Amino acid sequence: MHRPASGTSLHPWFRHVRKCPVPRLRLICFPHAGGSAGFFRSWAGLVPDDVELLAVRYPGREDRFAEPPAQRMEELAEPIAHACAKLAGTPLVFFGHSMGASVAFEVATRLAAAPVAAGLEGLFVSGRPGPERLRYRNLADASDEALVEDLLAMSGTNAEVLANPELRELFLPLIRADYRLLDAYAPKVPPPTLAVPIVAYYGGQDEHVDEDAVNAWSAVTRSSFATRSFPGGHFYLEQHAAPLVADLFAHLSSRTS
């Protein structure tokens, strides 16, 4: 598991990764299954100076370790949407990887339905099929060995953590809880749901997310849609964080230029 992220807590659901006194926008990042706010600490030096970077703090990990993990998507999306609404006044941008893409989408749909718009400028999703193309892998109740094998194959979890019996004992129940949440997740997608631009990223060698599955995100927005692939598997962004963040802000700049 990742160490606690740097920065201070803005709210129980957010952690400051990079502060900005008067931000022109806030980039809010949603971690993957088993992931935490600390996953995005390396992004602090990649965002423009006038952007505030926040990462979502899921219960059950880091400094919310004592809290039980969420069991249903609603337990994440609804309070996070409420917290985002309190940030109205500064434009918001969402980035979510894997499970985080689904959480970000659900938060975005709730903000879109809110009486007062929270100013979402874009939804950037990564390593996740569009809502209508989701396939459930049913790994929540797999054996420890099968689960570890799958996690190592995706290269998103430190091998040292999984090799350490004590750390693995702490981590596997958390990843099982997140997988169980995803297995129970049934998105309601009356197309097109959103009116914000969507950009979908994926790893070209990701065995679980192909180009067709990523293109399915186009069905949930009335605005523009684009995709980009990077070399690598499911956790391609660990090696390509800088060009990924640069591409994200290039898309945002093209809308305002």
Domain boundaries, the chain: 9-131+189-256
Second-level CATH architecture of 9-131+189-256:
3-Layer(aba) Sandwich (3.40)
- The pLDDT score that the predictor gives to residue 154 is 85
Q: What is the model's pTM?
A: 0.92
Q: Which of 60-69, 91-100, 135-144 has the lowest mean pLDDT?
A: 135-144
| pLDDT exceeds cutoff 90 at 115 | no
Burial track 128-160 (b if 16+ CB lie within 10 A, e otherwise)? bbbbebbeeeebbebeeeebbebbeebbbbeee
pLDDT of residue 257: 46
According to the model, what pLDDT value does residue 203 have? 96
**Is the pLDDT confidence value at 199 over 60?**
yes
Q: Would you say 198 and 227 are in contact if contact means Cβ atoms under 8 Å apart?
A: no
The segment with the largest mean pLDDT, out of 19-23, 40-44, 153-157, 166-170, is 40-44
**Which residues are designated catalytic?**
98, 234
Looking at residue 47, its amino acid is V
Provide the pLDDT for residue 5: 38
Average per-residue pLDDT for the chain: 89
What does the longest C-alpha to C-alpha distance in the chain come to? 52
- Work out the percent of the chain whose per-residue pLDDT is above 70: 92
- Mean pLDDT within 97-112: 96
Per-residue pLDDT, 3: 36
Q: Tell me: pLDDT of 8 over 50.
A: no
Cα dihedral: 188, 191, 197, 203 (round 10): 60
Q: Residue 26: what pLDDT?
A: 96
152/191: higher pLDDT:
152
Mean pLDDT of 164-188: 92
Q: pLDDT tier at 119 (50, 70, 90 boundaries)?
A: confident
Do you find a cis peptide bond into 192, omega within 30 degrees of 0? yes
pLDDT given at position 36:
93
Task: Report the pLDDT value the prediction gives residue 117, as an integer from 0 to 100.
Answer: 59
Tens digit of pLDDT for each residue in 29-85?
A: 999 999 999 999 999 999 999 999 999 999 999 989 999 999 999 999 999 999 998
Assigned token pair, 114: 């809110």
Q: What gap in Å lies between CA 220 and CA 6, rounded to an integer? A: 34
Of residues 135 and 58, more confidently modeled: 58
